[in-house]
Structure 1
Amino acid sequence: MLNKVMLSTESRMRGDMQVRFGGRYGKTYCRKAVRRSVPSLRTGKGGDIFTLAGEFIQSGDFMEQVKFIAETANMPMPVPEVSKPTFLPKPSEPAFEGVEAVPLLRSPLTDYLAERGIPYAVASRYCCRLNYGVRGKRYFAVSFPNVAGGYEIRSRFFKGCVPPKDVSLVKAEGSPSDVCSVFEGFMDFLSAATLGLETGDCLVLNSVANVEKAMRYLDGYGRIDCYLDRDEAGRRTLETLKERYGGRVCDCSALYDGCKDLNEYLQLTTQKEQ
C-alpha cells in the first residue's frame, strides 16, 4: 500500500525508516515498530500500518486510517457488502385448469358427505361437482360457490379454493329476511341445513380472514346468529362481530358445546340416532 519506502545508510544502521506518502517524506519511524506492537525506543510507540496511518492523520478512527491508506496508495476504498434479506417466495396456489361446474350426482363425493352427516338431498341443493385440472391431471371435488365467482372445494383427499376467495351468501326463499346466520365453512352451513337450523339468510365466511368482507352484507340485518367454531379463531371472530353490531349478535355455539364445530355435533347426533 505504501508508495515508497526510503532508507538511508544511517537509517538502516539505526533500524529506522522514512515513509513517503503521495510525493512527500513523512516522519521517521522505527521499522520494527511498524511491524510489531512492541514500543520502540526511538518513538516510544508500537503498532501496525494502521497505527502509522493514524499518526499521519492524527486520528484513532480505524475507518479513517483505512481511508487514508487507500487514498495514498491510489486504491479504491473497500465498501462492505450489506447482505440483503432473503425473501422466500410464498407457496403458490395450484393453477386450476379447465374448471367445469356440473350437477352433483350420487358418487364417491356424496358418499364422503354422507360420512360427515350431510344427506344427498341437502348436498345436491346447495353444492355442485367441480371438475378441474392441475399440472395436466384431472380431479373432481364437491364445490360451494362464493359471491365473487370462486369455489370452496372439498373431497376426501383435498381441501382448498378455486379463486377468487370470498364469502358465500345464501338467500332465504320468499320475502327478505331480517335474520342472517353466520358460519365459518360450508360444511357447517350444510350441517345447519340438515338440522333445520336455518331461519333466514345464511352467510359463510369460508375463512375467518373474510370477516371484514362479510360486514358489507351483515350491516342490514337486525339479528345475526353466529354458529362459529369453538376455538380461539372462532371466539376472536365473534368478538369482532360483537364490537361492530353489539346486541344484534347472538352466539349460538352453546348448541354444540363439547364439539369443535357444528359439523362434529351433527356427526355425533347422527351416530346416536343410528
Structure 2
Amino acid sequence: MERTEIDTMRHIPIADFLARLGHEPVRRSGNELWYRAPYRNERTPSFRVNVTKQLWYDFGTGKGGDIFTLAGEFIQSGDFMEQVKFIAGTANIPMSVPEVSRPTFLPKPSEPAFEGVETAPLLRSPLTDYLAERGIPYAVASRYCCRLNYGVRGKRYFAVGFPNMAGGYEIRSRFFKGCVPLKDVSLVKAEGSPADVCSVFEGFMDFLSAATLGLETGDCLVLNSASNVEKAMKHLDGYGRINCYLDRDEAGRRTLDILGKRYGGRACDRSALYDGCKDLNEYLQLATKKEMDNNLKIKLK
C-alpha cells in the first residue's frame, strides 16, 4: 500500500468512519461529539470524538487515539496492517499492496484532565438517590464506594467513586460515566479466611447489585471493562471456582469464552439468574420495582 493511501485514511473524519459503521453521536458540545461506545455496550455516552484534532477517547476504558487505534478496538487487534485493512474495507479504499510498515508517529491520545481529585465518605445525597433508583441501598453503597470530588477545565463535579487496584477510580453519576486514571480491575476480598471462590463482574454496579442480593460469596473481582480480562487473570489464577456474572451481550460472551478457555470448568456462567435482562443490575431494578408494586397492592387492599 502506498503512503498516500495511509494519509488518505488518516484524514478520514472519525465521525464519518463511525457513521459508515452505523454509529451516530448522541450529542455535540462545541468541537466534541459524544457517542455510546461503538465497540461495547453502555447506556451513558462516554465515548468522545474531538472533530478538530480527529482524536477519540473512551472514558469507560481509558483508551484513545486516532482512526487506526479506533479500528483496532473494533477488530480487537493491535496489528497495524489489520487496522488498515478494516478501514480500507469500511471506507471502500482499494489496497495496492498487501503489506505496510507502521508509521513512526501516531498522535497522542486526547485524555481528560481531572483536577483536584478528592475522596470523601459517601453520605446521603443526590448520588445515593441515583444509586437507589438503580436498586442499590445506601447501606451497600456506603460500604464499598466513596464520594469523588474533581475538576475538569476549571469546573468542579462530584460522583460516586469505586477504587481499583491501580489507585484509579471508576466514577458514576446520573450524568457521567468514566474513570479517573489509571484504569484497572478492582478486587474486593472477603473478610476472614482466604476464599477459594471468586465472583467476577463486568462493572461495579453489577457488583453492588450482587451485594444487595446477597450473592457476593467469597472474593469479588470487578473488571471495570471487558477489555481488562487479561489484567484479571493474575488475580484469578489461584481460585478453585470462578463465578461469572457477566453481561448477556457480545462482550460478556466473549469474556466468558476467554475465561473458560483459561480455567475450564472452574469458570462457571451464572448469568442464567438474570435471563431476559442485559445484566445483573437491570435484573435488580426489575426485582425492586416488582417488590414495590407488590407492597403497594398490599397497602391498597
Tell me the distance in 1 between the aligned counterparts of 2:248 and 2:153: 37
Partner of 1:15: none
Q: 1:82 to 1:226 in 2, by over 3 A?
A: closer
Once the two structures are overlaid, the 10-residue window that deviates more, 81-90 or 194-203, is 81-90
Q: Does 1:238 align with 2:280?
A: no
Q: 1:270 and 1:184 mapped to 2: Cα distance?
A: 21
Measured against aligned partners, the alpha-carbon deviations of 1:43-77 in whole angstroms (never above 9, x if no partner) come to xxxxxxxxxxxxxxxxxxxxxxxxxxxxxxxxxxx
Distance (whole Å) between structure 1 residues aligned to residue 134 and residue 172 of structure 2 = 12
Higher relative contact order (CA 8 A, sep 6+): 2
Q: What is aligned with 1:46?
A: none
Determine the structure 2 residue equivalent to 1:204.
222
**Per-residue CA distance 1:107-141 (angstroms, 9 max, x = gap):** 00000000000000000000000000000000000
Q: Say which SS state the counterpart of residue 202 (structure 1) adopts.
A: strand
| Counterpart for residue 131 of structure 1 | 149
Letter in 1 for 2:121: P
Shift of 1:82: 6.1
In percent, how many aligned pairs have the same letter?
85
- For 2:222 and 2:110, the matched residues in 1 are separated by 24
- 165, 169, 194: which one aligns with 2:212: 194
Which residue is equivalent to 1:267?
285
Superposition deviation, residue 93 in structure 1: 2.8
Give the C-alpha shift of residue 94 in structure 1.
1.5
Find the aligned partners of 2:110 and 2:240 in 1 and give their Cα distance: 40
3-state SS in 2 of match to 1:152: strand
Report the equivalent of 2:234: 216
Gaps of 5+ in 2: 12-53, 56-64, 66-108, 293-301
2:179 corresponding residue in structure 1: 161
Residue by residue over 1:17-58, the C-alpha shift from the partner in whole angstroms, topping out at 9 and shown as x without a partner, is xxxxxxxxxxxxxxxxxxxxxxxxxxxxxxxxxxxxxxxxxx
* Structure 1 segments unaligned to the other structure (5+ residues): 1-80
**Counterpart amino acid of 1:207?**
S
Could you say what secondary structure the match of 2:179 adopts? strand
Amino acid at match of 2:179: C
Within the alignment, does 1:93 sit opposite 2:106 as a pair?
A: no
AA paired with 1:125? R
Q: TM-score, normalised by structure 2?
A: 0.63
Identify the residue that residue 163 of structure 2 maps to in structure 1: 145
State the alpha-carbon separation in 2 of the partners of residues 82 and 171 from structure 1. Answer: 52
Residue 141 of structure 2 is aligned to residue 110 of structure 1: no
* Matched AA of 2:264: G
Q: Which amino acid aligns with 2:123?
A: L
Let me know the Cα RMSD of the aligned residues. 1.3
Instruction: Give the greater-gyration-radius structure (CA).
Output: 1
CA distance in 1, matches of 2:207, 2:280: 8
The code of the aligned residue for 1:242 comes to G
| Distance of 1:218 and 1:191 partners within structure 2 | 21
